[in-house]
Amino acid sequence: MKPVPASRRSAGYRAFLAHRVSGLALALFVPLHFLALGLALEGAEPLDRFLAFADLPFVKAAEWGLVVLLALHLSLGTRLIVLEFGPWRGLRPAWIGWAAGVAAAVGLAFFAVA
């Protein structure tokens, strides 16, 4: 078994993976969102069945996870835009920590409200 290269153990690589995985998870959510919107167009009964399903505890937990992933994707994407178009160079590991902190704060706020 080959050892993991140092470049894949860095904070920048983990931020890259988190950004890509959160983007994929959000892309998988979009069809479900369109399904809910389509059910709303079909009438009250199909939408009510979907909303009853959405009240299940595991769906609420998945919704919380989705909000955290969205905040993570947004904060890491903002970090990339600032690095790309700003005068800064390098990985700026502290910015990765701030991005994770923003995602955690949004997750806690959503948990407190929901």
> Left if phi > 0, otherwise alpha if psi is -120 to 50, otherwise beta: which for 92?
left
Instruction: List per-residue pLDDT tens for the chain, 114 residues long.
Output: 788 787 788 888 888 899 999 999 999 999 988 988 888 888 889 889 988 998 999 999 999 999 999 999 999 998 888 888 888 776 677 888 899 999 999 999 998 987
Residue 89 lies in a domain: yes
Predicted confidence at residue 24, as pLDDT, reads 94
CATH code, domain with 63? 1.20.1300.10
Residue 106 lies in a domain: yes
From residue 38, alpha-carbon distances to 26, 51, 91 in Å are 19, 13, 42
| Whether this model's pTM surpasses 0.95 | no
Residue 10 lies in a domain: yes
Residue 90 lies in a domain: yes
Residue 52 lies in a domain: yes
Domain ranges, residue 108: 6-113
Predicted confidence at residue 105, as pLDDT, reads 95
* Number of domains the chain contains: 1
State the Cα–Cα distance between residues 28 and 49, nearest whole angstrom: 21
Nearest to 109 by CA among 70, 56, 55, 73: 70
Residue 1 lies in a domain: no
State the Cα–Cα distance between residues 10 and 66, nearest whole angstrom: 25
Predicted confidence at residue 91, as pLDDT, reads 61
Residue 103 lies in a domain: yes
